[in-house]
Copies of this chain bind each other. A is one copy, B any other.
Amino acid sequence: MTLNIGVIGTGAIGREHIRRCSQVLQHARVVALNDINRNNCEQVISELGLQAEIYDNAHDLIAAPEVQAILVTSWGPTHEEFVLAAIKAGKAVFCEKPLAVTAQGCMNIVEAEIAAGKKMVQVGFMRPYDSGYRALKAVIDGGTLGEPLMLHCAHRNPAVGDAYTTDMAITDTLIHELDVLRWLLNDDYVSAQVIYPRKTRHASSHLKDPQIVLLETAKGIRIDVEIFVNCAYGYDIQCEVVGESGIARLPEPMSVQTRHAAQLSTGILTDWKKRFIAAYDVELQDFINNVLSGNMTGPSAWDGYAAAVAADACVAAQNNGDIVPITMPPRPAFYC
Contact = CB atoms under 8 A, between A and B. Distances in A.
Interface string A204-223: 00000010101000011110
A200 B220 CA distance: 11
Given A147-B198, A244-B232, A263-B263, A257 B251 contact: yes
A220 B195 CA distance: 11
A291 interface: no
Contact of A264 (B149, B195, B266): B266
Interface stretch (A38-46, A131-139, A311-319): A131-139
Contact of A197 (B222, B231, B246, B250): B222
Number of copies of this protein chain within its complex: 4
A24 B25 CA distance: 7
Interface of A: 23-26, 131-132, 135-136, 138-139, 144-150, 152, 195-202, 210, 212, 214, 219-222, 224, 226, 228, 231-234, 236, 242, 244-270
Contacts of A131: 254
Candidate in A196, A233, A250 with the most chain B CB atoms within 10 angstroms: A233
B264 A267 contact: yes
A119 B215 CA distance: 46
7 contacts: A146-B232, A147-B201, A152-B224, A195-B214, A197-B222, A233-B246, A233-B262
B244 A200 contact: yes
Contacts of A248: 256-258
Contact of A234 (B226, B259, B266): B259
A292 B52 CA distance: 23
Given A24-B26, A249-B257, A262-B268, 15 more contacts: A25-B26, A135-B254, A139-B258, A195-B222, A198-B220, A233-B245, A233-B261, A247-B260, A248-B257, A251-B254, A252-B254, A252-B264, A255-B264, A262-B267, A262-B270
Contacts of A220: 197-199
Contact of A259 (B25, B149, B247, B255): B247
